[in-house]
Amino acid sequence: MGHIVLHFLTPGLVALLFFRKRWLKVWMIMGATMLVDLDHLLATPIFDPNRCSIGFHPLHSYLAIGVYVLLLFAPKLRIISLGLVIHMALDYLDCLL
């Protein structure tokens, strides 16, 4: 439960700190990047508390993460990419813990 909360609080904090004038819009866009977890529906079982999603699910693959990082350099996609990178970092942190 705490992991899911972090997926929404962390982008909100980043939005407040770095995009103050439009923080709500930025937070909502980054919140929408949580849809990347739809790739979990391809796994059997869909939820396994002991499985690390990084490197397992297609949208959590190292190749996909590399694309998300590269998209940070595309100004029009930067907020979406930032949301995805934050998501992957939090998932990686979950794998470590």
Domain boundaries of the chain, sorted by first residue:
2-96
Is the confidence at residue 2, as pLDDT, over 70? yes
pLDDT higher than 80, residue 9: yes
Whether the Cβ atoms of residue 25 and residue 18 lie closer than 8 Å to each other: no
How many C-beta atoms lie closer than 10 Å to residue 26's C-beta? 22
Per-residue pLDDT tens over the stretch 18-72: 999 999 999 999 999 999 999 999 999 988 888 999 999 999 999 999 999 999 9
What would the two tokens of residue 58 be?
């297609």
